[in-house]
Amino acid sequence: MRDPLQKALDFAVARSREAEALFKEWAPKVDDPETRALLAGLAAAERGRTEMLSRMLPEELVGRVGDAPRLADLLVDVKTPRRPTLAKAIDVAIRRKGVTAALYDRLAELEGEARSFFRAMADADRRAADALGKYADRLADGGPLITPP
């Protein structure tokens, strides 16, 4: 029982670290102050999330026996291209938020001690994906440009 739960936690920590790195990389490259603040805020949130998830124990996730093995199909890795454009990086971030929101929803369904935490995380990921989607739409419409390297 512990192994699938630990894998889910490890997966969540790794995705959070990747998200933080992605947001930190792109925040200073964006000219638009609102978008820069969004990306910097998302990076800070991911750092806090990583710290909380890193301290969590598998036992805190389970309220019902037998549910953990069904987590494996939710551990989907969304790869980042080697040298992504801003638009591609935002697309990857949106897709990753969808993956982690689904995982957090499932972890909340396990009815363990951390269910409220995971519900909040899933909601936060959906809100972040929406905000990133709005930025991606503005970018596609010729919105804020990035600062050249």
Helix (H) or strand (E) holding 97: helix 86-109
H or E segment at 17?
Answer: helix 2-26
> Which residue in this structure is represented by tokens 């000219």?
31
Cβ neighbourhood burial of 83 (10 Å; 0-12, 13-18, 19+): exposed
pLDDT of residue 46: 92
Q: Do 80 and 22 form a contact (C-beta atoms < 8 A)?
A: yes
CA-CA distance, 87 to 64, in Å (whole number)? Answer: 41
Residue 83 has a pLDDT of 74
- Given a cut of 70, the residues of the chain with pLDDT beneath it are 1-2, 63-76, 78-81, 84, 141-149
